[in-house]
Amino acid sequence: MFRDDILTTEQSIAKWLNATLLATFLSGLLLFLIDSHSVWTQLNSLSHVLVGFVFTLVSIPYFYIHFKRTLAFRRASIIFSGILLLLLWLIILFTGYWITIYGETETNKWIRLLHLYSCFSFVAILALHISMHLLSFPKNRLKSAAGKFPSNTKEHKPFLLKTNILFQVLIVIGSLSLPVFDSPSNMHGEAVVSPYLYSYGEHPFRPSQTETHDGKFARYEDIGHSDKCVSCHEDVGMQWMSSIHRLAAADPSYVTNVDLLSNNKGIDATRYCEGCHAPIALLTGQLTPGGLHGGTPGTMAHAEGISCMSCHGMSSLVHEKGVASYTFEPASDYLFAESDMPILQWLNERLIKLDPSQHKADMAKPLMQEPKMCAACHVQFMDEDMNDWGWVKMQDDYSAWANSQYAHQHETEFTSTDYTRCQDCHMPLVAANDPSTNGAGKIRDHRSIGANTFIPAMRGDTEQLAQTQQFLKTNKVRLAIDPPKRIDVYHSQFHLDETLRDTSEAPSFFYLGETASIDVVVSNVGVGHNFPGGTIDINEVWVAFSVVDAKGKSIYSNGDILDSDDVDPNAYFYGSKPVDRFGEHVWKHDLFNMVGRSFVRVIKSGESDIINYEFEIPAWVESPMTITATLKYRKLNTKYAKWALKDQYFDLPITDMARDNLQVPIKLVPKVSSSSLQANN
């Protein structure tokens, strides 16, 4: 009686066990065989988790009752295979729930493989377990169906077929109906502001060089809402939040300039800037009369600047001439991507974690690995439709890189794949706790460190500022004072110290009252493009040169900071001075007035610049004389910063990028004896 009760309980549980086991196996097998990103596969994925969960709940009591009922049979092969099935079930349970909760990442791909192979092994061992049962069971009991499979009854087979057919029918119905209910509100790519003014021809985004994959406007859901990305990629998101990319539209100096452009040439002209600084505003169709440009506080474009999808949505380059010359292509949505219901948002997150293959394909397009991706925005030109003059070349860090030793494009074999990319310097690999980390647990640093010290200082972001200044100081540009070499020789009757014969270079010195000439060598040894780069018309790079005697009294200085916070105008500067059609300095960065440059001084990658300083050595100087030269950098010159920042102006940080000093003895001019003069005559 006791055994009959156990068998009856086992049979009732087995009915659901077999149904959920078959449903779990079939849905998993279909996902394995059909590699696609569709509503059907996503529903199969969710269904696989659901029936797998039910299978787990049913399996626990079944295993307990089945083992309790069969252990007394003492058939070693069946008991062994049963224990093996239990171990595989535990592995499947652990790996399945791990993937469901944490998802598949680059570092735990082995968990999915373990889950997959364990499932196939479970089915194979189960078939072996049943076969051994049939072979070892008494022949007189094999005549009845119940004898062959005690856990099953005649009603099990129809129930098994009906439930699994119904299961697949429901998935198909859901696949056909969900696209209707889950479709976004704006599928036609219309501008968010209507009517949209086509001021620069039929192309909707000109004078920006941006394209979209279908020639239509993008939706906010496609290019914005970076908070959704940050919810999973927290470490990357925190880096991006501090980056100059994220703050590209919120930079108060940019706000001043884009307002200036809008006021002078209309909001439609801001498309020239916003393709790089605020792609959300450009691609959604805000930049037309009645719309708001990215410099407007409170807008998504202002808050996100260069959003996650602004870069990860680049599918190709239109050309390498810059001015936002990329093609934007939105990612393939997973189900419920735009739902506001918490449960559906949770399901959307599960779907991405369960099968991130499409997400990875969308977010890590081949272009992301190429240095030319940066050319889309870090190359710039101005055409007649903007300056009413003609085509003018502006910043071009990409071409400067391509001509450098880092690009390896001038090898004997013409090109080389062994090069240093923009990403390798500005987005180095750093340790992080993120689903996208590589096998070593590292990701590309989305702080995108460059040379902007102004924004982190203004925001009080000490970490971003410290990393930026450290980046500027890491031996990328070197400075050296060349010891003076005397060209005159004085005869004297003093004994010559024999140790001087072992000296490879004669000692340096100056005489009181003479004019000293000092060379300072500045070398671009570690920057992958020209130094300085970027907006060299409004940044300040100069050499501060000072000479003091042994008591610290100043003999000569050049490049000091004045009381007005300006740099000594006689300093040796690196940068450029753009001019308008009348030859006036375009100092407000109003590049739509620029037609050329009156001054450009940069150092190409791998090259050096020599600066010569001359000064008089007064009679009061105490020896030795100390010469110090420092290469200094400040993001934004004072004149521009005071105009652009207005009441937000503060003392901008100055970074010492390189420094050298030299002590030079000072001597009296020796007297020349009459015998020496006679000898010379």
Please measure the distance between the N-terminal and C-terminal CA atoms of the chain and give it in whole angstroms: 138
Name the more confident of 118 and 153: 118
Judge whether residue 34 has pLDDT over 50. yes
What's the CA gap between 168 and 173, in Å, rounded? Answer: 9
Out of 87-101, 239-253, 459-473, 625-639, least confident range: 87-101
Name the more confident of 271 and 30: 271
Judge whether residue 185 has pLDDT over 50. no
Judge whether residue 505 has pLDDT over 70. no
Judge whether residue 321 has pLDDT over 80. yes
168 — pLDDT class (breaks 50, 70, 90): confident
- Say what the pLDDT of residue 169 is: 85
User: If you average pLDDT over each of 21-30, 98-107, 367-376, which comes out highest?
Assistant: 367-376
Q: What is the phi/psi pair of residue 14, to 5°? A: -60, -30
Residue 528 token pair: 């992958």
In terms of residues, how long is the chain? 681
Judge whether residue 124 has pLDDT over 70. yes
Read off the pLDDT of each residue in 192-221 and give the average, rounded to a whole number.
94
Judge whether residue 501 has pLDDT over 70. no
Judge whether residue 40 has pLDDT over 80. yes
State pLDDT tens for residues 538-590. Answer: 999 999 999 999 999 999 999 999 999 999 999 999 999 999 999 999 999 99
Residue 578 token pair: 């753009």
487 — pLDDT class (breaks 50, 70, 90): low
Torsion sign across C-alpha atoms 589, 595, 601, 603:
positive
- Say what the pLDDT of residue 220 is: 93
What's the CA gap between 5 and 244, in Å, rounded? Answer: 71
In the chain the domains, ranked by start, together with CATH numbers, are 2-181 (no CATH), 211-334+361-450 (no CATH), 474-667 (2.60.40.10)
Judge whether residue 519 has pLDDT over 90. yes
Task: Check: CB of residue 325 under 8 Å from CB of residue 206.
Answer: no
Torsion sign across C-alpha atoms 243, 523, 533, 223:
negative
Judge whether residue 614 has pLDDT over 70. yes
382 alpha-carbon distance from chain centroid: 27
Judge whether residue 635 has pLDDT over 80. yes
State pLDDT tens for residues 54-110. Answer: 998 988 888 888 877 776 666 777 788 888 998 999 999 999 999 998 888 888 888
342 alpha-carbon distance from chain centroid: 29
151 — pLDDT class (breaks 50, 70, 90): low
Judge whether residue 518 has pLDDT over 70. yes
β-strand partners of 610: 521
Which CA distances in Å does 340 have to 348, 351, 421? Answer: 11, 16, 40
- Say what the pLDDT of residue 303 is: 97
585 Cβ contact list (under 8 Å, min separation 6) = 577, 578, 579, 598
Strands 429-431 and 392-396: unpaired
β-strand partners of 396: 379
Read off the pLDDT of each residue in 627-651 and give the average, rounded to a whole number.
97
State pLDDT tens for residues 275-305. Answer: 999 999 999 999 999 999 999 999 999 999 9
What's the CA gap between 297 and 293, in Å, rounded? Answer: 9
Task: Check: CB of residue 406 under 8 Å from CB of residue 420.
Answer: yes
User: If you average pLDDT over each of 13-17, 497-501, 504-508, which comes out highest?
Assistant: 13-17
State pLDDT tens for residues 231-269. Answer: 899 999 999 999 999 999 999 999 999 999 999 999 999
- Say what the pLDDT of residue 35 is: 84
State pLDDT tens for residues 401-430. Answer: 999 989 887 654 455 567 899 999 999 999
What's the CA gap between 31 and 357, in Å, rounded? Answer: 12
- Say what the pLDDT of residue 154 is: 62
**Average pLDDT of the chain, as a whole number:** 88
Read off the pLDDT of each residue in 532-541 and give the average, rounded to a whole number.
96
186 — pLDDT class (breaks 50, 70, 90): very low
Judge whether residue 678 has pLDDT over 60. no
Return the half-sphere exposure (C-beta side, CA atoms, 13 A cut-off) of residue 503. 9
Name the more confident of 2 and 323: 323
- Say what the pLDDT of residue 650 is: 95
Judge whether residue 490 has pLDDT over 70. no
